Structure 1
Amino acid sequence: MKLTALPAEFEAAKPVLDTIIAAGYEAYFVGGSVRDTILGKPLHDVDIATSAFPAEVKQLFKRTVDTGIEHGTVMILDHGTGYETTTFRTESGYQDFRRPDQVTFVRSLKEDLQRRDFTINALAMKPDGTVIDMFDGLKDLDAGILRAVGVAEERFHEDALRMMRAVRFASQLDFEIEPQTQAAIADNAALLTKIAVERTRVEWEKLLMGQRPQRGLRALLATALYRYLPGMAAHRAVLADLMDNADWHLPTIEAAWTLLAWITERRQSTQVRQLLKQWKTSNELIVHVTAAVSALASLQANGRLTAQENFATGLDALTTANQVAAILGFGQPLDQLTAAYHQLPIHDRHELAVNGGDLIRTGVVTPGPAMGTILQACLTAVIDGQVANQRDALLDFSRMAADTKSD
């Protein structure tokens, strides 16, 4: 196969390959960028493989960065863009099922491609668009099949994360995992515990956000791989229900985790935090999903949020909650929800027209716990529309609140 119209990303990178080839070495575009070009999908990055050893690559270019030189990877900086360029290599001795104990640089493209995970990712392309296919990857691409390169069990023993990549690609590409590859995943699923949670999480999120997540979930359940995902072992039934649901799409990582927390009945804030901490997510994501799950409960119960709930949730988490509610069958018109949010007198506690310093200077309170209590009362009153968000009005309200408290 020869691709006649290459994406702009390849055209921009051609001078890098041309320089390497002119020096007497081989150089190819490899991996996902070749696969996605054939499938007509947008490119996320452009990777280059070469017969030149790292030191030889560095001699050819003025600006390089040793991003992973022990594994043969050098970042070539060309006109403001970085291109990861990796020497053909073989790997051996994967005692931790994650990283090779030994990496050997080689001059053979075939030796390099045969260590890759799936046939559809073991494609190389010359600068002129000629595709090199040594493992029938084009045939599998055409058939929508995910097949391990060579012996599937060996590929998964080299890096157990490849099992999650398989179910992720099933979702992302809407491909079927061929029987021998799927059987090898089932036989080795427990090896997923050898993989850092952070690496597994990336694949899990991509699966949930794929174009056909039902395929990925079906393979996840069929292979029992789900049993080795943090917090998922007891939830086969709800994952199966999700798989059997009508077509749905999760547009963001936040929506994916909100849906997951909801269907596994982690609906209290402590339960949501516990789940996300198991997966080692960011604190920012935990705050967002916790707020979204709380809003989701209100949407289910009432079809709307109170002013206080709107304020506490925030627009971003509210949008997430409604996206998930739509999947679950109780979504609301987003314009109505956002209009109610925008009608709030304030959207952040820092917008309150008085602060602690104002209360002290005007003699309403002295420093201490009472100040926080009165400020919270002011905030609640403003959000509910009981008091205008004006300094004088709030000072009067504060004095009444302080008098009531002292009584």
Structure 2
Amino acid sequence: MVFLKLTEIPEEFRKARPILKKINDAGFKAYFVGGSVRDSILNKPLHDIDIATSAYPTEIKQIFPKTVDTGIKHGTVMVIDDGTGYEITTFRTEGAYQDFRRPDNVTFVRSLEEDLKRRDFTINALALSEDGNIIDLFGGIKDLNNHMIRAVGDPEERFHEDALRMMRAVRFASQLDFSIEKNTIDAITKNSHLLKKIAVERILVEFEKMMLGKDPSIGISEMLESHMTEFIPESKVITEALNDLSDKKFLNIENTVQLWSIILFTTKQKASEIHSFLKKWKTSNELIQNVQDTVFFLEGMRSNRINNQLLFNTGEKNLENALHISGLFEMDVKNYKKDYEKLTIKSNKELAITGNDLILNDLAEPGPQMGVILKRLKEQVIDGMVANEKNKLLEIAKTIKEL
């Protein structure tokens, strides 16, 4: 067992210390656990503060007047303190994992060691006491110092408990710029096929976090070498893309639109293929549209076919996405940003005429004809063929109607 005293306790922990004190004063043990403890050692921003305790859920509900049963079946109760909610989970052991995703049952225990030994990696199996002592039972501090991702105990057991942990390993390696310990990566290679049993949505979260990490090339390399890419959605395209990107150490991806645009532009996917591809990854319709717009603009850059219509349809945000990642492909950004700023209008709302104006002037009725006229007017304004003025647009609309 290794103890390390935090020289300065982060504010997030200080605010929650009264919760730990109240549990300790009631005769139980309580600790901050998991990623927040790891990040405090690494001097990184803290996110969710997790608390683990020897007190059972019914006992926590007796100690605190305001609680919510957020996951009481698995030992989690939320305590409301001064308007802030803290999730408190009882120390537990877990039964067999028949589906490689979740335990068949959990058993509440009083032992911190029993609770920590079921966690995924040593760097996440750390506990912080109320007085600032870090309890390390599995060499997590040493692995943090050595920049190493290592499974707690037998890595095959950990990955059979939850196969998503294999994705978490490469994600942490990317985010922290760490290496994966040999026995751990060997177990990932042997068991990578188990990813087929994991919900796409869960894989999506870990994959995106990995690709947005400090050094995605680490995670990319480990995914390829361990054959993980063969067992995730659209494996052929993903494998091809990651192979192409594996030698690009500084991808500098800022958001998920850029991430998927890079993958789909790299593999030269067509418009219909982009939609189908991202649907299989269960991404949102908004992201699909943004990726399509970004990839279309990159294709226009590659073929030197950028015009005002494409600039307008791409929009400012996706233009910035395209220009940001174009450096990966050594493409000339030219004056596209300035050309966009020169557009007469930059959204449909800025067009000086509406469907209601067409109705009031007997130029169209609600329906397809109205849409066609507004589209033609917008295109002419964007191309600078007509001023964005209502009266002039009404004149043009009359001409279009008579065609």
TM superposition shift of 1:41: 1.1
Deviations 1:63-99 (A, max 9, x none): 2221111111111222222211110000011111101
TM superposition shift of 1:356: 2.5
Deviations 1:167-223 (A, max 9, x none): 111111111111111111111111101111000000000110010111111110111
Kept after mapping to 2: 8 A contact 1:98/1:161: yes
- Tell me the equivalent position of 2:336: 337
Q: Distance in 2 between matches of 1:201 and 1:194?
A: 14
Q: Distance in 1 between matches of 2:248 and 2:216?
A: 11
Q: Distance in 1 between matches of 2:368 and 2:20?
A: 67
TM superposition shift of 1:367: 5.0
Deviations 1:220-268 (A, max 9, x none): 01110011111123553431231112422111111111111112222x2
Please say which of residues 125-134 and 243-252 is displaced more in the overlay. 243-252
Of 147, 166, 169, 1:166 maps to: 169
TM superposition shift of 1:318: 1.0
% same residue: 51
Whichever residue aligns with residue 61 of structure 2, its letter is K
Q: For residue 76 of structure 1, give the secondary structure of its aligned residue in structure 2.
A: strand
Alignment of 1:175-190 (within 5 A): 175-190=178-193
- Tell me the equivalent position of 2:370: 371
Whichever residue aligns with residue 325 of structure 1, its letter is S
Q: Distance in 2 between matches of 1:363 and 1:225?
A: 62
Q: Distance in 1 between matches of 2:148 and 2:128?
A: 20
Cα distance change of structure 1 residues 164 and 96 upon mapping to structure 2, 3 Å threshold:
same
Question: Normalising by the residue count of structure 1, what TM-score does the alignment of the two structures yield?
Answer: 0.95
Alignment of 1:194-343 (within 5 A): 194-233=197-236, 235-266=238-269, 268-302=270-304, 305-330=306-331, 332=333, 336-343=335-342
Unaligned runs of 5+ in 2: none
- Tell me the equivalent position of 1:60: 63
Q: For residue 236 of structure 2, give the secondary structure of its aligned residue in structure 1.
A: coil
TM superposition shift of 1:331: 5.5
Q: Distance in 1 between matches of 2:90 and 2:320?
A: 45
Q: For residue 198 of structure 1, give the secondary structure of its aligned residue in structure 2.
A: helix
Q: Distance in 1 between matches of 2:180 and 2:348?
A: 51
Cα distance change of structure 1 residues 328 and 78 upon mapping to structure 2, 3 Å threshold:
farther
Kept after mapping to 2: 8 A contact 1:75/1:85: yes
Unaligned runs of 5+ in 1: none
Alignment of 1:385-404 (within 5 A): 385-403=384-402
Whichever residue aligns with residue 96 of structure 2, its letter is G
Please say which of residues 158-167 and 369-378 is displaced more in the overlay. 369-378
TM superposition shift of 1:368: 4.7
Kept after mapping to 1: 8 A contact 2:149/2:169: yes
Q: Distance in 2 between matches of 1:14 and 1:98?
A: 33
C-alpha RMSD of the superposition: 1.5
Cα distance change of structure 1 residues 320 and 110 upon mapping to structure 2, 3 Å threshold:
same
Q: Distance in 1 between matches of 2:230 and 2:169?
A: 16
